[in-house]
Copies of this chain bind each other. A is one copy, B any other.
């Protein structure tokens, strides 16, 4: 249907325009209210023609998903594995604390809000977010869950996705609706309770 933006274009010349566009999108999403992050603004910031953008991405949403994936590629260290000290609750608390810290940074907060908006508006974009952003994170948790399973800490009826949701969903929910403070104390409490929820 449209250019898939993954190896679809011949290499060499086009790569520059591609990364410039993605990084302009990241920068603008961090600076402006999302409705002002227009294609025109992104093109202007990137020093790129609008046509060049529309040649690669069908919607702003697809562009933003790729931008986040691009960012995750750059900072591959940030997506590090879940630690494994043998204490599941403590390990999860470490991860949730860092998640909370990241969500407190305005750039990442704005970027994730933008991603959620696009995922809510368009079904195809939602699937893309699931594949490129959420699924990799579930995979990271799944590694830690595997050792916890062999230690008898997780009920067999609880799959990796369900366990992931028990851990992450309350933080996500509170981040999105601001029903209360989103701090380290909350991260610790959620990790502790999620552990109990998934125990056999």
Contacts and interface: CB of A to CB of B under 8 A. Distances in A.
Interface of A: 33-35, 113, 116-117, 119-122, 126-127, 129-130, 134, 138, 157-158, 161-162, 164-166, 168-170, 172-174, 176-180, 189, 193-194, 196-199
- Interface SS majority for chain A: helix
10 contacts: A33-B121, A116-B120, A116-B176, A129-B177, A138-B179, A162-B170, A165-B174, A193-B198, A196-B197, A196-B199
Contacts of A157: 189
A118 to B, nearest CB: 9
Contact of A121 (B35, B161, B180): B35
B196 A180 contact: no
A198 B168 CA distance: 16
A129 B178 CA distance: 10
A16 to B, nearest CB: 31
A122 B36 CA distance: 12
A173 B178 contact: no
Contact of A180 (B113, B161, B197): B161
A198 B119 CA distance: 31
Contact of A176 (B119, B174, B189, B196): B119
